């Protein structure tokens, strides 16, 4: 096998969705398995759909996933520039070659968009002089790829085998604004960057024959093409697309649409570990065989084979994604979870009730078997870290004075012995206020903000005497 060089070539038109990042993952694994190079190329010729911040998002997403780029816009390489918008001068000589060799032609069109373009209706016998005059007079033109004279074009995809093409649409290869289209630019770039394998999504199969024709026109060696199957939504009805936002995350990182100001959560913001995300993603279209499902990125590099990629589309399973994160969550040490817990609390700006590490570890120990995410631990125990917001449905006015006795119980407990406090409160609990809430329930509402939560006296032992009193008084004042 010749030296492996693969590229991930996204367009900066928005965030990467699951299908795009999976394409990057398969390219990365194949390159690293074969001691090759993984190249990032930004295909930004479509300026009408360009989104500010999208390129930076792409780079950050790859970094979060652990997919290290060998060559790209952010680092030096021998085959740059790595943004297509910086390569226009390179494309010009190849367009001239195609025109000079009758592989392409000027098309002076009135309509901007037209499917199944038919050049028979176009006068192709106009002289070079007339063509030049039209260009000088400012008549808008595009340059179109010319269909080969022969039919039955045979092309080969690594997964699908031989494909025979009997008809082709004469696609635009140079737009009226002078920018090349995907069809031309990616072929030239792949050749000049010495790409050995083109691994991309199934949605590009329609342009595959045009790619092959251009390689033939330039007399270049064709790389090996592999078109990955689609990732279908959980119902199996259509592919996962960034144009259709579903109820679960479809982006690796969060994204804010500057035009609409709408925010979308990514897997990172939803509490997923990058290693769990990658492990989940790799199985959407690939399987090494056997029953083992948990693989580190290093493990995946050692076992990955493109022969194991499935030809059929993979249906996304959100529950399975959660299962993967749960597995990686359970592998974390208490020290790692403690670090992540503090980091998340700081991010939420809610860590203003100081709790000692030893007590935080107690909280983690209570919930680690029930949770799959750091967010779940915090969401289920938020009352440890901030005073609860009181709810009108727990509004109690009659006999609230009896609840005052709790203040004296806490104040008179100098050594703050939980067992003593528990005994005293249980004595008070024989009397129910308004025949709705016991003293114990009212205490829970004042400390937690609801009737749910961990053991009440465990909560008191964690937040301490001072914070417990503060919350009880706040609740009494609320009810009066």
How far does CA 10 lie from the centroid of its chain?
A: 13
User: Closest by alpha carbon to 234, among 253, 216, 247, 218?
Assistant: 247
252 and 272 Cβ atoms separated by less than 8 Å: no
Rounded Cα distance, 36 and 30, in Å: 8
How far does CA 386 lie from the centroid of its chain?
A: 31
242 is catalytic: yes
Query: Is residue 434 exposed (0-12), middle (13-18) or buried (19+ Cβ within 10 Å)?
Result: exposed
Q: Say which of 242, 327, 362, 470 is annotated catalytic.
A: 242
Residue 130: partners with Cβ closer than 8 Å, 6 or more residues away:
none
Residue 115: partners with Cβ closer than 8 Å, 6 or more residues away:
169
Q: Which residues pair with 155 in a beta bridge?
A: 163
Report cis status (omega within 30 of 0) of the bond before 81: yes
Which of left, alpha, beta for 397 (phi over 0: left; psi -120 to 50: alpha)? alpha
Q: Is 265 helix (H, G, I), strand (E, B) or coil?
A: coil
Report the side by side order of strands in the sheet with 172-174: 104-107, 142-145, 172-174
Q: Is 147 helix (H, G, I), strand (E, B) or coil?
A: coil
Taking each helix axis from N to C end, the angle separating 182-192 and 208-218, rounded to the nearest 10 degrees, works out to: 50
Q: Where are the alpha helices (DSSP H) in 52-207?
A: 54-65, 88-100, 128-136, 182-192
| Residues acting as catalytic residues | 242
């Amino acid at each position: 096998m010749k030296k492996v060089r693969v590229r991930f070539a996204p367009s900066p038109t928005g965030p990467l969705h699951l299908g795009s990042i999976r394409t990057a993952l398969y390219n990365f694994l194949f390159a690293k398995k074969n001691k090759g190079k993984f190249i990032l190329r930004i295909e930004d010729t479509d300026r009408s759909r360009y989104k500010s911040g999208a390129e930076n998002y792409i780079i950050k997403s790859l970094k979060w996933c652990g997919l290290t780029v060998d060559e790209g816009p952010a680092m030096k390489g021998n085959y740059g520039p790595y943004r297509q918008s910086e390569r226009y001068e390179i494309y010009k000589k190849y367009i001239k070659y195609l025109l000079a060799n009758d592989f392409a032609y000027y098309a002076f069109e009135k309509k901007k968009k037209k499917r199944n373009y038919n050049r028979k209706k176009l006068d192709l016998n106009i002289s070079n002089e007339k063509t030049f005059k039209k260009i000088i007079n400012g008549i808008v033109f595009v340059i179109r790829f010319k269909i080969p004279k022969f039919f039955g074009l045979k092309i080969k995809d690594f997964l699908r085998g031989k494909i025979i093409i009997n008809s082709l649409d004469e696609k635009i290869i140079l737009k009226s604004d002078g920018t090349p289209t995907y069809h031309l630019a990616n072929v030239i770039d792949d050749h000049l960057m010495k790409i050995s394998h083109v691994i991309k999504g199934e949605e590009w199969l329609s342009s595959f024959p045009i790619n092959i024709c251009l390689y033939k026109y330039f007399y270049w060696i064709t790389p090996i093409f592999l078109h990955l199957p689609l990732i279908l939504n959980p119902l199996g009805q259509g592919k996962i697309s960034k144009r259709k936002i579903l109820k679960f995350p479809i982006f690796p990182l969060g994204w804010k649409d500057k035009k609409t100001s709408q925010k979308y959560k990514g897997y990172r913001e939803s509490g997923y570990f990058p290693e769990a995300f990658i492990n989940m993603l790799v199985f959407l279209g690939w399987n090494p065989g056997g029953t083992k499902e948990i693989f580190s990125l290093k493990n995946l590099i050692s076992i990955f084979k493109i022969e194991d990629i499935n030809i059929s589309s993979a249906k996304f399973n959100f529950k399975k994604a959660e299962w993967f994160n749960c597995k990686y969550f359970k592998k974390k040490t208490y020290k790692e979870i403690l670090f992540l817990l503090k980091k998340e609390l700081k991010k939420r700006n809610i860590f203003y009730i100081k709790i000692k590490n030893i007590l935080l570890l107690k909280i983690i120990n209570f919930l680690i078997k029930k949770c799959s995410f750091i967010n779940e631990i915090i969401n289920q125990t938020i009352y440890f870290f901030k005073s609860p917001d009181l709810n009108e449905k727990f509004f109690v006015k009659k006999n609230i004075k009896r609840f005052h006795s709790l203040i004296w119980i806490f104040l008179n407990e100098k050594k703050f012995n939980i067992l003593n406090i528990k005994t005293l409160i249980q004595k008070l609990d024989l009397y129910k206020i308004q025949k709705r809430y016991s003293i114990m329930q009212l205490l829970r509402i004042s400390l937690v903000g609801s009737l749910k939560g961990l053991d009440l006296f465990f909560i008191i032992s964690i937040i301490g005497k001072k914070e417990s009193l503060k919350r009880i008084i706040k609740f009494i004042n609320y009810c009066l």
